[in-house]
Amino acid sequence: MGNLLYVFELLGTLLFAISGALAVRDRDTDLFGATFTGFVTAIGGGTLRDIMLGSYPLAWVSDIRFLYAIILGVFVAYLFFKSLVRLSRTFLFFDALGISLFTILGVEKALSLGMRPEIAAIMGMFSAVMGGVIRDTLIHETPVLFRKEIYATACLGGAVLYLVLNYLGVDRDVNLIISSSLIFIVRLVAVKFKLALPNFKR
Amino acid sequence: MGNLLYVFELLGTLLFAISGALAVRDRDTDLFGATFTGFVTAIGGGTLRDIMLGSYPLAWVSDIRFLYAIILGVFVAYLFFKSLVRLSRTFLFFDALGISLFTILGVEKALSLGMRPEIAAIMGMFSAVMGGVIRDTLIHETPVLFRKEIYATACLGGAVLYLVLNYLGVDRDVNLIISSSLIFIVRLVAVKFKLALPNFKR
Amino acid sequence: MGNLLYVFELLGTLLFAISGALAVRDRDTDLFGATFTGFVTAIGGGTLRDIMLGSYPLAWVSDIRFLYAIILGVFVAYLFFKSLVRLSRTFLFFDALGISLFTILGVEKALSLGMRPEIAAIMGMFSAVMGGVIRDTLIHETPVLFRKEIYATACLGGAVLYLVLNYLGVDRDVNLIISSSLIFIVRLVAVKFKLALPNFKR
């Protein structure tokens, strides 16, 4: 389990760094601003989760590979910027993959610290979406959370599925793959078919 | 004391969840977005206070009733949305009640951790207003803090009153009620009569 | 060393409080709103750094002089508001001096907690720029970080210089002065000559 989780965490960090750096696509942001945005997007959710759980040291502070994953992600975004932005949905794709992995990682982390399943589900969702919320707040866009298509709801659904399968004794590596796939698919389908929850205002 | 404080904390959480969910009234936010906003508004101030004080675990992480209070608050906001929004000042009312309770709770929490009174007053004000500041930042509105009528100043005033009465030996439950009432009344009167502090810019 | 660091930390706090209070110059912000902005700008970066490092208690929570430095800074901003705002570049000057001092302080703090140099450099930059990022987010402006001229890059450069000179055995007080001067000069020169990094988008 540990190894797959760790690989997913590095991969999710890299993907979020790409999505953060690509997020500046409509602006005249310099190299550093894009790197900063990539960095904050990549560490934001996990950092907030660990601070709320009181779990120290933070992963990226104690393990330098996270920093390298971020730099690699920003570099990839820089090299392939035009192609990545031209392909519609590229940004979406990286973001969707990132939230899928981070949700389950967040749930696992909270469970391993002895949290109740309800709190673990929230922490999973938080670690997935808050990097993007911070990114969007920084660049003055409406947080992706408040846009039409299903987003954080998919994370919460995947988190609950993971908790249920976990309770039923499903192997953790298998569960990790099933539950994060669910999030990824729901998110892509939601965007493709413009699926949205009902409005709060009736 | 403990019991009244605890009841007030749950009540304040519920009120802030209502105010957060109602805050999306001018937008096409879905069920989840409103729930998320209610959640963040309800836990934001107390979470920030406890993180700054290094006080773990966070209340809503260790005590599941806070989560239930938030869900109840969002549900109330959903059920009575039209009536609540139509009644002018409803949103204001819940917010004013929420900040009154949270200010004193924050002061108490900081004092119980051995903080100086000056720091306790700031922590009280912070826990009261930061949930709303985070809420307003998320939904891209000018934080309530920067609007005209007296807001955080009322919290700071109530916090100082609480500290003075505490120093004078007034019973804590009585003090809790007096000081939070002061904040509530000052805030409502300020809005009613458009009372504002002088501008910083002369 | 300790003494010079401490003086710089108080001075940097005061400067950031001035810059935060002056930041409301284009708005009808009341006395309290300006004080709040000054406060958050002054403590934001250091607080975020210490929370990410898990270093408690926070400096301003345990040492009341930081609070006095902030109040003094806001008072100075209030008294000399017109002159300070009229002098073009005043705001810039205080901000530049603030980030110069805070960068090196952040690096030192992280090193003293046993962090790797890469992490120490990031923490230095973070503590310097995040107060301003929070300030700009609060007052709904594009964070200074994303504006054209070199800003956080100067901090990162100064942090690296400090780490190199430190590694080479240069006296810490001397190093502190050299490295923070570099940041200050680079920042002022960058604004004067409108120096910018290349755009991320090619």
Note the pLDDT tens digit of each residue in C11-42.
999 999 998 888 877 667 788 888 999 999 99
Q: Is residue A30 helix, strand or coil?
A: strand
- The number of residues making up chain B comes to 202
Could you tell me which of C149, C24, C123, C120 has the C-alpha nearest to residue C81? C24
- Is the Cβ of A186 closer than 8 Å to some Cβ of chain B? no
d(CA A138, CA C135): 12
**Which chains neighbour A (Cβ–Cβ under 8 Å, 3 or more pairs)?**
B, C
**Which chains neighbour B (Cβ–Cβ under 8 Å, 3 or more pairs)?**
A, C
Residue C126 C-alpha, separation from nearest chain B C-alpha, in angstroms: 17
Question: Which one-letter amino acid corresponds to residue B165?
Answer: L
Residue B57 C-alpha, separation from nearest chain A C-alpha, in angstroms: 7
Q: Kindly list the residues from chain B whose CB atom is less than 8 angstroms away from the CB atom of residue C81.
A: 200-202
Q: Which A-chain residues 147-166 have CB contacts (< 8 A) with chain B?
A: 148, 150-153, 156
CB A192 within 8 A of CB A149: no
Q: Which conformational region is residue C199 in: left (phi greater than 0), alpha (psi within -120 to 50 degrees), or beta?
A: beta
DSSP run (H or E) holding A49: helix A31-53
pLDDT confidence band for A88 (50 / 70 / 90):
low
**Which chains neighbour C (Cβ–Cβ under 8 Å, 3 or more pairs)?**
A, B
Nearest CA in chain B to C54: B54
Q: What share of chain A is helix, strand, coil (3-state, %, to 5)?
A: 80, 0, 20
pLDDT of residue B181: 96
Q: Percent of chain B scored above 90 by pLDDT?
A: 58
pLDDT confidence band for A30 (50 / 70 / 90):
confident
Whether residue B196 and residue C51 make contact (CB cut-off 8 A), yes or no, is no
pLDDT confidence band for B148 (50 / 70 / 90):
low
Q: What is the pLDDT of residues B3-35, one digit of tens each?
A: 888 998 899 999 999 988 888 776 677 888 889
Which of A32-36, B45-49, C63-67 shows the lowest mean pLDDT across its residues?
A32-36
CB nearest to A202's CB, from B24, B81, B139: B81
CB nearest to B52's CB, from C30, C58, C137: C58
Specify the residue for token string 């120096």. C195
CB nearest to B201's CB, from C35, C36, C81: C81
pTM assigned to the model: 0.91
Whether residue B201 and residue C29 make contact (CB cut-off 8 A), yes or no, is yes
d(CA B107, CA C139): 27
Nearest CA in chain C to A32: C153
Using omega within 30 degrees of 0 as the cis cutoff, is the peptide bond preceding C198 cis?
A: no
Average pLDDT, chain A: 88
- Is the Cβ of B196 closer than 8 Å to some Cβ of chain C? yes
Whether residue A29 and residue C146 make contact (CB cut-off 8 A), yes or no, is yes
SS3 per residue for chain B: CHHHHHHHHHHHHHHHHHHHHHHHHHCCCEHHHHHHHHHHHHHHHHHHHHHHHCCCCCHHHHCCHHHHHHHHHHHHHHHCHHHHHHCCCHHHHHHHHHHHHHHHHHHHHHHHCCCCHHHHHHHHHHHHHHHHHHHHHHCCCCCHHHCCCCCHHHHHHHHHHHHHHHHCCCCHHHHHHHHHHHHHHHHHHHHHCCCCCCECCC
Whether residue A138 and residue C146 make contact (CB cut-off 8 A), yes or no, is yes
* Strand stretches in C27-153, DSSP E: none
Residue B149 C-alpha, separation from nearest chain C C-alpha, in angstroms: 9
- Estimate to the nearest angstrom the gap between the alpha carbon of B57 and the chain centroid: 20
Nearest CA in chain B to A152: B32
Residue A131 C-alpha, separation from nearest chain C C-alpha, in angstroms: 15
Whether residue B137 and residue C139 make contact (CB cut-off 8 A), yes or no, is no
Please check the confidence at residue B2 and state whether its pLDDT lies above 70: no
Indicate the DSSP class of residue C145.
G
Residue of higher predicted confidence among A85 and B182: B182
d(CA A93, CA B120): 46
Q: What is the pLDDT of residues C95-141, one digit of tens each?
A: 889 899 999 999 999 999 999 999 999 999 999 999 988 888 888 77
- Is the Cβ of C82 closer than 8 Å to some Cβ of chain B? yes
Beta bridge partners of A111: none
Q: What share of chain C is helix, strand, coil (3-state, %, to 5)?
A: 80, 0, 20
pLDDT of residue A52: 96
- Is the Cβ of A139 closer than 8 Å to some Cβ of chain B? no
Could you tell me which of A104, A96, A114 has the C-alpha nearest to residue A191? A96
- Is the Cβ of C200 closer than 8 Å to some Cβ of chain B? no
Whether residue B61 and residue A115 make contact (CB cut-off 8 A), yes or no, is yes
pLDDT of residue A43: 95
Whether residue A196 and residue B137 make contact (CB cut-off 8 A), yes or no, is no
- Is the Cβ of A106 closer than 8 Å to some Cβ of chain B? no
pLDDT confidence band for C88 (50 / 70 / 90):
low
CB B103 within 8 A of CB B159: yes
